[in-house]
Amino acid sequence: MEKADIYKMLDRESDELASWVVSSGEARSRKELQSLKTVVGSSQSPYKHVFSNIPERDFGKSILISMLYSSADPLTAQTSFFKEFYKFLESVCDKAGLPYKVIVPLVDVENELLAAYGEVLNS
């Protein structure tokens, strides 16, 4: 999977995207979740602490939200786009049952997270 794969997910409606986040995030095995936790733990991001208290059942979903946020990072420099995009992700979080605090970038480990998720984004 590549950054373009997750970026194309942003074309979906919030209901559809939330459904995808839930099904893809919950489909992670314990081994895959541990791999994601290891990647986040190795991050230099000042936001990695956000994920330390996320319940295991929500961890995969939370990482997907962060990856969605990170994938649009270059676009968020435009203030008007950022406000709309953040509201969109808040809506996805509401529908997926996730706290807004997971809407943070993990750009420094983005490639590792993409690799850890494998083919899930192509579904």
pLDDT at 123: 46
Burial string for 45-84 (b: 16+ CB within 10 Å, else e) reads bebbebbeebeeebbbbbbbbbbbbbbbeeeeeeeeeeee
Q: What is the pTM of this model?
A: 0.83
Q: Which residues of the chain have pLDDT under 50?
A: 1, 119, 122-123
pLDDT at 74: 58
pLDDT at 118: 64
pLDDT at 93: 96
Alpha helices in 2-55 (DSSP H): 3-7, 14-26, 30-41
